[in-house]
Amino acid sequence: MLGVGSAPRAGGGREALRSDLVHVAHLSLQDFRSYPAAEVALEPGVTAFVGPNGQGKTNLVEAIGYVASHGSHRAATDAPLVRHGAPRAIVRAGVVKDDRKALIELEINPGKANRARLNRAPVPRPREILGMLRTVLFAPEDLALVKGDPGERRRFMDELLTTRAPRFAGVRSDYDRVLKQRNALLKSAAAHRRSPGPEVLATLDVWDSHLARTGAELLAGRLNLVEALRPLVARAYAALAPHSGAADLVYKSSLGDVELSTDRGQLAEQLMAAVGESRKQELERGVSLVGPHRDDLVLRLGELPARGYASHGESWSFALSLRLAAFELLRADGDDPVLILDDVFAELDTGRRRRLAEMVAPAEQVLITAAVPADVPAELTGGSYTVSDGRVVRDQR
């Protein structure tokens, strides 16, 4: 049994000994997705948003996820988040932590820098308020964590890293920038089709060391994260799918079969050596072939990789286990993340539905979306809203 399921709270009450209790008390939207405007009051415990498909349920929880991660779980860019025809979107969340309130405000400007305010005061860079609210979001899209490309799993790791330690937002963007510049250089060298001159090679040397340094930092973060996640994923999977094989994670690096150090300095040297060895090939192909952008997180069930082998039900259980493990890990670090379950119960059979509900019930705040009330498990009673025709109306209890 997962630790999260072991201490049910009576009537959604709070555990007396835990100090950092965080919940979203208010969500306010302006021109976000389908909403010209919306105001939603929220409480600790469970809140369900129920309504027919296409009415704006996911849009609401997506906005809360955006406040936490500055990204969307279903859009690669910000443009689709802004209501069609509007110039920008604004999302405000009132967050209560230990009975202190904070107002987080994000202005989403597609193609331009977003702006952030904390308690109405501008924040120089939105990144600085990452970590004020932490969420773990479960969604139907999570199946891609198991069945999709390595990029899905890299994003899972990197987002979780950033949620745990917001400084990784900087590491990720540094690495992306280095990679882009280095690829541009390799591409232009490849396009010229003759041996690059000493100047190009010297510039490439500089980018190699940047790539090794920032890459090592990201890689070290991921390796630590995966070690911390492994037992939690195994436990969550065993609880969700007791009759299936054991779930495990293996980090697969582009450095091949070398034993990876967990020391950043040594990792940088390992990366530097591998980059050196692949230079000829990189110059021919015009792309960076070594580094964390080429890595994968292999999900294993027993002896086999889940991808390509696991059944639909096993894949679902694995995806849920990754999110549950993320929840456990964040919870062990400090305050409870807000849990968001977007339309996931309808996909599950009765057994897994009940087990998942039991495991998430003790969280400080759980937000659920469902098409019909019957899709909200009985274990998760709480407040509810009906979402239809762009209106979000609280149900009478």
Ligand X SMILES: Nc1ncnc2c1ncn2[C@@H]1O[C@H](COP(=O)(O)OP(=O)(O)O)[C@@H](O)[C@H]1O
Q: Which residues bind Mg ion (CB under 5 A)?
A: 58, 343
Contact 97, 22 (CB under 8 A): yes
Taking CB under 6 A as the criterion, the residue among 10, 11, 17, 84 binding ligand X is 84
Q: Name the strands in the sheet holding 135-138, side by side, starting at the edge strand that comes first in the sequence.
A: 135-138, 338-342, 365-370, 45-50, 383-388, 391-394
User: Contact between 353 and ligand X (CB under 6 A)?
Assistant: no
Q: Which is nearer to Mg ion, 56 or 382 (CB)?
A: 56
Least distance CB 337 / Mg ion (angstroms): 20
Lookup: tokens for 124: 């120089």
Lookup: tokens for 120: 């109405």
- Binding partner at 84 among ligand X, Mg ion, none, C-beta below 5 to 8 Å by kind: ligand X
- Binding partner at 195 among ligand X, Mg ion, none, C-beta below 5 to 8 Å by kind: none
User: Contact between 59 and ligand X (CB under 6 A)?
Assistant: yes
- Binding partner at 55 among Mg ion, ligand X, none, C-beta below 5 to 8 Å by kind: ligand X
Q: Which candidate, 357, 361, 355, 348, places its Cα nearest to that of 377?
A: 357
Contact 40, 393 (CB under 8 A): no
Q: Which is nearer to ligand X, 13 or 36 (CB)?
A: 36
User: Contact between 53 and ligand X (CB under 6 A)?
Assistant: yes
User: Contact between 33 and ligand X (CB under 6 A)?
Assistant: yes
User: Contact between 19 and ligand X (CB under 6 A)?
Assistant: no
Residue type, 363: A
- Near ligand X by CB under 6 A, which window of 55-63, 126-134, 241-249, 358-366? 55-63
Lookup: tokens for 359: 């495991």
Using DSSP bridges, classify how beta strands 121-123 and 115-118 pair: parallel, antiparallel or unpaired. antiparallel
Angle between the N-to-C axes of helices 150-164 and 167-192, in degrees from 0 to 180, rounded to the nearest 10: 140
User: Contact between 30 and ligand X (CB under 6 A)?
Assistant: no
Taking CB under 6 A as the criterion, the residue among 83, 92, 134, 235 binding ligand X is 83
d(Cα 100, Cα 364) in Å, to the nearest integer?
A: 15
d(Cα 153, Cα 144) in Å, to the nearest integer?
A: 8
CB-nearest residue to Mg ion: 58
Residue type, 209: S
Q: Which residues contact 107 (CB under 8 A, 6 or more apart)?
A: 88, 89, 90, 114, 115, 116, 117
> Coil, strand or helix: which one is 74?
coil
- Near ligand X by CB under 6 A, which window of 36-44, 81-89, 189-197, 228-236? 81-89
Total residues interacting with ligand X, rule: CB under 6 A = 15
Q: Which is nearer to ligand X, 51 or 215 (CB)?
A: 51
Q: Which is nearer to ligand X, 58 or 365 (CB)?
A: 58
User: Contact between 80 and ligand X (CB under 6 A)?
Assistant: yes
Least distance CB 46 / ligand X (angstroms): 18
Q: Can you give the binding site for ligand X, defined by CB under 6 A?
A: 33-34, 51, 53-59, 80, 82-84, 369
